[in-house]
Amino acid sequence: MPDLSFSLAGQAGVFIPLPGAPRLPLPLDEVRVSAGFPSPAADYTDKRLDINEYLVRNPVSTFFFSVEGDSMQGAEIFDGDILVVDKSIRPRHGQIVIAFVDGQRLVKRLYQRAGRVALMAENPAYPPLEIRDGMELLIWGVVTGKFKRLEA
Amino acid sequence: MPVFALVDCNNFYASCEKLFNPQLKDKPVVVLSNNDGCVVARSAEVKALGIPMGVPWFKIQQDARRYGIVAFSSNYALYADMSNRVVEILSSFSCNIEVYSIDECFLELSGFARWGFPTYGQVIRQRIADWLGLAVCVGIAPTKTLAKLANHCAKKELAGHNGVCDVTAMTPDQLSSLFEQIAVGEVWGVGRKITARLEAMGIHTVRQLRDANAETLRNRFSVVLERTVRELRGLSCLDLEEVVPDRQQIMSSRSFGTLVHDLADLEEAVASYVSRAAEKLRAQDALAGAIQVYIRTNIFKPEAPQYQQAMTVPLPEASSDTRVLANWALRALRRIYRAGYGYHKAGITLLEIVPRTNQQFSLFVPSQRESSRDDRLMATLDAINGRYGRGALRLAAEGVAKTWQMRRGNLSPRYTTDWDGVATVAAV
């Protein structure tokens, strides 16, 4: 299957908005007119920060996974972290990915160079997992962020 | 001329289960109905084994063991979320879309002719595969009935290419020979009974139905079948239903996980169903004028004593208040309940539904809705449940333990709608 989404985008005059395109909601600042002094901040109303907006680029294709284990410490991914995984991103060499290998769900860094495909840990205690002929590998999605709640 | 696409997810429930669980790859997977009764979805591997849709799970235990079939209870939270994602993606391919069922949508595509419909269909297919990991088939045609049929052809690989079948590009001869191969029962709206009657008339294939005399069919069957014939000929009679019409009735019923004997347990169940239905009623800003309650024993166990009864109560004044509706439903239940039976199912139906703005006040009963306090209470109830999850705040009558609830023995986690259900990945 050739990459049709690109060939379509190349045609002039046609525009399909992506579901994940940035949205521009209008600010909720229906300031009431009242007698007395107007608020000096009325012209500067901003939307409050939204963590979804910060972490999730394309909500429709974004899924969450939680981490068990310490093999990705070097990439600052720790046990108990929740990963933000965007399935719409095409996996490339060097990205951190969710991979399904032989019935297991793994988080690894994808190595894809010179015919060698491997899943790398970010902790010297774990050797690379070489993907050889006959092994089943599915790159499920690309990790684009992480978060964790702390006891307080 | 309109052009419709029907996009249909392949083996939708089973595919959702496989999506998050790598151990199910290439394994035969079935999804069971409420109370784990019957097979309601099958993976491709199960279809290949020849196991039919709808078969009771206990009847295929031998096959299940022999082939290692994995069975799941229906995880509606997961399927609904994945379905919403599919709809959201499809909405970016056409502004005219009808959500026909949890796994099927019609799209109006006539404005996209410049790209070629098969190409457009492939882009849709690829997008859903890339972004959600789900496979869909696309049928494209000048009528909805033909789009359904084209989808069937794509799925069974009778025509089209790579899961997309565009009948707008086929010549009349190609269409005729294709329709000759398809049994008449595959046509949208032609059910088992009509199929049998058509076959008795010598109409066995889609081609024969298309070429039959439409007037005769209208006289012998109905105007609906006549319309189907016209649609098969390429004349569009059915438009997209983009806006879901408000419901005239709202039903809520379930089979119980175990037989229920006590009135108290039945009361809890009925109160819960009323609560759920009243929430839907308020969501469409309507009032119900009557409520029906029914209970029955297990009709599939004829050796046990059987009883079923229903009662409809017209309300003194139309209402959407959970407390008012539950009160009347419970009164009706107590009237029809007979001790000494094992009840298998209970349900309620809200009837005579009218928009809130058309409310008819009662002449004889002093209005119970003079203040808006009751409305505000219900709005608050809905808001709290919207935020903290269904049933977070409920009537005491609905009970706490809910021992009568559905049996869902092998329910997969709610991977996408519950933080506790999020799938783990091993960092090893």
Residues of A whose CB is below 8 A from B163: none
**pLDDT at residue number B11:** 96
Separation CA A67–CA B428 (nearest Å): 10
**pLDDT at residue number A3:** 46
| Catalytic residue (one of A34, A39, A61, A71) | A71
| Catalytic residue (one of A5, A39, A61, A108) | A108
Calculate mean pLDDT across residues B159-176: 94
* Band (B305; pLDDT cuts 50, 70, 90): confident
The closest CB to that of A105, out of B115, B419, B425, belongs to B425
Condensed to tens digits (0 to 9), the pLDDT of residues B58-90 reads: 899 999 999 999 999 999 999 999 999 999 999
Q: Are A63 and A85 in contact (CB under 8 A)?
A: yes
Condensed to tens digits (0 to 9), the pLDDT of residues B179-231 reads: 999 999 999 989 889 999 999 999 999 999 999 999 999 999 999 999 999 99
Calculate mean pLDDT across residues A22-49: 69
Condensed to tens digits (0 to 9), the pLDDT of residues A58-109 reads: 999 999 999 999 999 999 999 999 999 999 999 999 999 999 999 999 999 9
**pLDDT at residue number A113:** 93
More confident residue, B180 or B396: B180
* The two three-digit tokens of residue A49, written as one number: 């920060």
The closest CB to that of B92, out of A19, A68, A107, belongs to A19
pTM of the model: 0.78
Where residue B201 falls (left for φ over 0; alpha for ψ -120 to 50; beta otherwise) is alpha
* Band (B36; pLDDT cuts 50, 70, 90): confident
All structural domains of chain B: 4-169 (3.30.70.270), 172-232 (1.10.150.20), 250-398 (3.30.1490.100)
Can you list the pairs that B232-238 forms with residues at least 24 positions away whose Cβ atoms lie under 8 Å?
B232/B143, B232/B145, B232/B146, B232/B149, B232/B179, B232/B187, B232/B206, B234/B141, B234/B142, B234/B143, B234/B146, B235/B143, B236/B1, B236/B2, B236/B4, B236/B142, B236/B143, B236/B144, B237/B143, B238/B143, B238/B144, B238/B145
Q: Do B123 and A4 touch (CB under 8 A)?
A: yes
Distances in Å between the alpha carbon of B25 and those of A62, B4, B28, B31, B423?
Answer: 22, 33, 9, 15, 16
Q: Name which of A11-25, B160-174, B378-392 the model is least confident about.
A: A11-25
Q: Name which of B112-116, B216-220, B398-402 the model is least confident about.
A: B398-402
In the block, residue with structure tokens 């979805």: B41
Element (H, E) at B85: helix B76-90
Average pLDDT, chain B: 90
| 3-class DSSP state of A84 | strand
B428 at interface of A, judged by CB pairs closer than 8 A = yes
**ipTM, 2 dp:** 0.77
**pLDDT at residue number A4:** 46
A-B CB pairs within 8 A amount to 101
Separation CA B351–CA B288 (nearest Å): 6
Residue B249 has pLDDT above 90, yes or no: no
Give the minimum alpha-carbon distance from A4 to chain B in angstroms, rounded to a whole number. 6
Distances in Å between the alpha carbon of A102 and those of A134, A143, B21, B411?
Answer: 10, 20, 11, 23
Beta-carbon neighbour count of residue B165 at 10 Å?
30
Average pLDDT, chain A: 85
**pLDDT at residue number A7:** 45
Residues of A whose CB is below 8 A from B85: 60-61
% of chain B at pLDDT higher than 90: 65
Q: Identify residues of A whose CB sits under 8 angstroms from chain B CBs.
A: 1, 4-5, 8, 11, 14, 16-19, 58, 60-61, 63-72, 77, 79, 82-83, 87-88, 90, 98, 100-107, 121, 126, 136, 138, 140
Give the minimum alpha-carbon distance from A21 to chain B in angstroms, rounded to a whole number. 11
Residue B290 has pLDDT above 60, yes or no: yes
